[in-house]
Amino acid sequence: MRYARVVLLLVLSIAAVSEVASQTPRPRAPRSGGISGTELVVIATDFAFDAPEQVDAGLVNVRLFNRGKEMHHVVVIKVDRLERISQIAEILKANKWNEEWMQALGGPEAVNPGGVSTASMVLEPGRYVLACVVASPSTHKAHFMEGMIRELSVVKPVAAPARAALPATEVSLKLFEWNYQLDGPLFAGRRTLRVENIGKFEHHAWIVRLLPGKTIEQATRWAEDPSGAAPFEPVGGTTGLQPGRSVNITVDLTPGDYALLCTLFNPLSRKTHSAHGMIKPFRVVN
């Protein structure tokens, strides 16, 4: 009888411990493959984002899968006020990118339908917005005006991680007025670059591979005002990046002639950055 009572108490103790353990939040499992950080997968369609509502603060790898019929990208914007999404969309529509409470932190730049674009960044806890500001070649309307804008909450992780930082890269790309500085050659294959805005204005870096027989002038004109078929293949890069901010981008490069393009609007001159000369050709070899 005493033996049965002891066994019963042991079973009840194990059950209680199991219940407590199941209710205790578990630390996020490390990613496989030796890649640090949290993965934020964004599925782009025409015209919406499918993405988690929240992500842990720290190093975040934003991976865009374009399942639409047009080019899409993701601009990650930190919002320090309680404006509604509709109000934020109106500010974007008016090209008021100098609002102090809105910070463009980069994101995966545009790729073709079926393509994948990746950008890694360090995010602090707070309120964010994901937006696609690509203009449709058919309607010339920015995609966020069609509904391609949504909120993202960045929260403090359960297990306090070490201070987050971008992983080291072999090649760096610096953005400033009105040029790009590429430190080192780019060879064919999957490459990761550190992109840093050392200028005084927001800039972006769109990497495009020129199609045979097409020129960088044609590529620039299309990027500024898309209409019809693009004279290039977009391979990614980073969307708008505030001065002093950095991201890592991962791109798949094949041999050929490429260009770096920045087509953001300068409200002071009323011109695009590419009209100021922010265009850089380069070649990728094996």
Burial track 55-91 (b if 16+ CB lie within 10 A, e otherwise): bbbbbbbbbbbbebebbbbbbbbbbeeebeeeebbee
Average pLDDT over residues 9-19: 40
Weakest-pLDDT range from 18-22, 74-78, 100-104: 18-22
Q: Max Cα separation, the chain?
A: 91
Residue keyed to tokens 């800039």:
203
3-state helix, strand, coil in the chain (%, to 5): 15, 45, 40
219 in Cβ contact with 194 (< 8 Å): no
Per-residue pLDDT at 114: 98
Assess whether pLDDT exceeds 80 at residue 115. yes
C-alpha 262, offset from chain centre:
16
Coil, strand or helix at 6: helix
- pLDDT in the model for residue 160: 66
DSSP three-state, residue 64: strand
Q: Which of 244, 245, 240 is nearest to 266 (CA)?
A: 240
Q: How far is CA 110 from CA 57, 79, 277, 281, in A?
A: 24, 22, 21, 18
Euclidean distance between CA atoms 179 and 278, whole angstroms = 5
Which residue in 192, 170, 165, 202 sits closest to 183, CA to CA? 170
Ordered structural domains, the chain, with CATH: 35-284 (2.60.40.420)
- Lowest pLDDT segment from 82-96, 132-146, 263-277: 82-96
- pTM attached to this predicted model: 0.86
pLDDT more than 90, % of the chain: 79
pLDDT at 15 over 60: no
Q: How far apart are CA 204 and CA 196, in angstroms?
A: 10
Kindly state the average pLDDT of the residues 163-187: 95
pLDDT in tens, 226-256: 999 999 999 999 999 999 999 999 999 999 9
Q: What are residue 155's DSSP bridge partners?
A: 56
pLDDT band at 98 (very low <50, low <70, confident <90, very high): confident
| Amino acid occupying residue 4 | A
pLDDT value, residue 9:
40
pLDDT digits (tens, 9 = 90+) for 24-80: 333 333 343 346 899 999 999 999 999 999 999 999 999 999 999 999 999 999 999
